[in-house]
Structure 1
Amino acid sequence: MPAASRTYWLLNPCRLRRQDDSIRVEREGKPPAFVPIEDVRDIIALAEVDLNTSMISLLNKHRVAIHILSHYGDYAGSFLPAETSVSGTVALNQARIASDDGESLTIARSLVDTAAFNIRRVIDRKLLTRPYGVLTEALEAATTREQLMAAEGNFRRSAWEALDTKLPDWLQLDGRSRRPPRNAGNAVISFINGTVYARILTGLRLTPLHTGVAFLHASTQRHRHSLALDLAEVFKPLFAERILLRLANRKQLKKHHFDVGTNQAMLSEAGREFIVKTVRDDLAESVNHRTLGRKVTYDELIYLDALALTRTCLEGTPYKPFRIWW
């Protein structure tokens, strides 16, 4: 993953224009800002963005993706530059593995188990010991993706109930809800999940993997990059549930961070800015990697996991998804 470049977050409506080899960011009532294109890895837009063909050409030349999220944090779409990391060998092997019931189920089972492991580690190991044991037994018995996802759904319901015991009343999920989220806690989870999905998509695009060929989620899903959904299962707990718990425990989330209506809630402008800053800071946080013997950022962990899956498709190395070890 390019070390010098970084993610830029657009929180307000703006116009992006090319000026030499820089991006000119024009916002109403403010002087234009200039960003060297070499400094940009990807852009996550949480508001309306206006582009022209010259700007698109510059983004494509430097392989910069723009991911669009809705007001609720749902993934709405992306501008993705032309593929340059493509490998016919990797793509063919990836498709072959995904088409093989035995091999694809092994990877899918590992994804579900690891996601549950990470959720349990983040929320409460004791409270989720029994649900995790039930999940493990169900995974061993499962023979289809649908059975794996059903087992995962049952575990997640138990996890959300456990999570609610650690949150103040006004932030409790009361069951997971999306599009739109019903309450403040769900609004935080949905918003962060959308940013995680976008970051994973960027990481995958730096590898030869095909984002439309998945092992857990159906590869036939339209308007979705199914492989990004697979990896998102593993990484969402590291960010969404973990950040919600931390901010709640520190009493940093306030009522003014949300716009709440009848059976729906979304982050206010202040809330969006606060959550984006929190996610951005977490992505830059680093830990000592037990295998590499050096510090890596949370952002790099995503890329390393994509590389591990690439090696599985290229060399047949067993895929071991990222597990929280600290």
Structure 2
Amino acid sequence: MLHRRVRINVHFLSYYGDYAGSLLPADSATSSQTVLGQAQLATSHDEAMKTARSIVDSAAFNVRRFLGRRELHEPYERLRAEVKSAAAREELMAAEGNFRRSAWEVLDTQLPEWLQLAGRHRRPPSNAGNAVISYINGLVYARVLSVLRLTPLHTGVAFLHSSTERHRHSLALDLAELFKPLFAERILLRLAGRSQLKPQHFDTDAHEAMLSDSGRKLIIQTVRDELGATISHRTLKRKVSYDELMYLDALALTRRCLEGEAYKPFRVWW
């Protein structure tokens, strides 16, 4: 009897929903030619900044699309100006942080009081809304990491986040920024709007909050359903799943590293 080998990535989230680690198959699709090209781009200040700028801009564009084009118009224009003039990754991260703070304020105006973030607090999440965002972000990061393992790219060589940080797949952090708004903020708003999230979905005390078992099951099933949702792709002229959008973005970055083709990060078009 022939046995087909199945490569399964296993990801672990911490007690509070942050990414904690992975068990990954020893073999991967990584190729030396791609990694060399990727490393050359990542170590070239101008090329790395060009890619990092496009990631920050596109991620903010996606946040604005889901939380309010009018409400976030001015913060987005400020971010674009800051991104254009930034000379280092740290300046890009600072610009992104400023924009995100404006975005979270807008998000709170669309949530019931008990789910409002009141600022972003991660370790540990300070309230129910933060707990949901952290958990979904962890799931998105893990899924992006799995997708990257299907490409020749090296997950430790990044453009926006530091490639020297140990025990982190920095490239997954880069690409996850693009897709977090498609899942985290959007799903939180939907579940809140439909009154699907209940206090019993959380374990809370005066200083922290986490999803209960029933809350995690609800979030995992919702994210799984979203990964399978489809949209008509403007270029491919066929329907693609949200999961495939991640893979297509990783392939676009692969072509940038191998063939020098311009990389245009994922932007919501619907």
Same fold (TM > 0.5): yes
Q: Which amino acid aligns with 2:41?
A: I
Out of 57, 61, 80, the residue aligned to residue 136 of structure 1 is 80
Residue 84 of structure 1: how far off its partner (Å): 3.2
1:304 aligns with 2:248: yes
Distance 1:82 1:63 in 2: 9
Question: What does the per-residue CA deviation read over 1:39-59, in whole Å, with 9 as the maximum and x for residues that have no partner?
Answer: xxxxxxxxxxxxxxxxxxxxx
1:70 aligns with 2:14: yes
Q: Which runs of 4+ in 1 moved over 6 A?
A: none
Distance 1:231 1:67 in 2: 17
1:80 aligns with 2:24: yes
Residue 263 of structure 1: how far off its partner (Å): 1.1
Q: Any conservation in 2 of the 1:86–1:208 contact (CA below 8 Å)?
A: yes
1:281 aligns with 2:225: yes
Question: Who is 1:261 aligned against?
Answer: 205
Question: Who is 1:190 aligned against?
Answer: 134
Q: Any conservation in 2 of the 1:111–1:234 contact (CA below 8 Å)?
A: yes
Question: Who is 2:165 aligned against?
Answer: 221
Distance 1:83 1:120 in 2: 39
Distance 1:62 1:89 in 2: 25
Residue 169 of structure 1: how far off its partner (Å): 0.5
Question: Who is 1:54 aligned against?
Answer: none
Question: Who is 1:212 aligned against?
Answer: 156
Out of 96, 106, 127, the residue aligned to residue 162 of structure 1 is 106
Distance 1:129 1:83 in 2: 45
Distance 1:97 1:134 in 2: 27
**Matched residues, number:** 269
Distance 1:84 1:247 in 2: 37
Question: Who is 1:14 aligned against?
Answer: none
Q: Which amino acid aligns with 2:256?
A: T
Q: Which amino acid aligns with 1:113?
A: D
Q: Find the residue that maps to 1:280 and give its secondary structure.
A: helix
Distance 1:84 1:249 in 2: 41
More helix by percentage: 2
Residue 244 of structure 1: how far off its partner (Å): 0.3
Q: Which amino acid aligns with 2:60?
A: A
Larger radius of gyration: 1
Q: Which amino acid aligns with 1:180?
A: P
Question: What does the per-residue CA deviation read over 1:10-67, in whole Å, with 9 as the maximum and x for residues that have no partner?
Answer: xxxxxxxxxx96xxxxxxxxxxxxxxxx7xxxxxxxxxxxxxxxxxxxxxx5321111
Question: What does the per-residue CA deviation read over 1:253-281, in whole Å, with 9 as the maximum and x for residues that have no partner?
Answer: 11111111121000011111111110010
Distance 1:245 1:161 in 2: 13
Question: What does the per-residue CA deviation read over 1:99-130, in whole Å, with 9 as the maximum and x for residues that have no partner?
Answer: 00000000000000000000000111110000
Q: Find the residue that maps to 1:67 and give its secondary structure.
A: strand
- Report which structure shows greater RCO (CA 8 Å, sep ≥6): 2
Distance 2:82 2:123 in 1: 29
Distance 1:65 1:247 in 2: 28
Residue 83 of structure 1: how far off its partner (Å): 3.0
Q: Any conservation in 2 of the 1:173–1:183 contact (CA below 8 Å)?
A: yes
Residue 82 of structure 1: how far off its partner (Å): 1.7
Q: Any conservation in 2 of the 1:305–1:321 contact (CA below 8 Å)?
A: yes
Q: Find the residue that maps to 1:68 and give its secondary structure.
A: strand
Distance 1:262 1:270 in 2: 21
Question: Who is 2:97 aligned against?
Answer: 153
Out of 33, 48, 58, the residue aligned to residue 89 of structure 1 is 33
Out of 245, 266, 270, the residue aligned to residue 322 of structure 1 is 266
Q: Which amino acid aligns with 1:178?
A: R
More strand by percentage: 1
Question: What does the per-residue CA deviation read over 1:65-104, in whole Å, with 9 as the maximum and x for residues that have no partner?
Answer: 1111123211111111123312111100100000000000
Distance 1:145 1:223 in 2: 20
Distance 1:190 1:91 in 2: 31
Q: Which amino acid aligns with 1:146?
A: E
Distance 1:280 1:244 in 2: 14
Question: Who is 1:117 aligned against?
Answer: 61
Q: Which amino acid aligns with 2:156?
A: G
* Between 75-84 and 238-247, the greater mean CA deviation after superposition: 75-84
Instruction: Return 5+ residue gaps in structure 2 as ranges.
Output: none
Q: Find the residue that maps to 2:269 and give its secondary structure.
A: coil
Distance 1:211 1:84 in 2: 11
Q: Any conservation in 2 of the 1:63–1:82 contact (CA below 8 Å)?
A: no
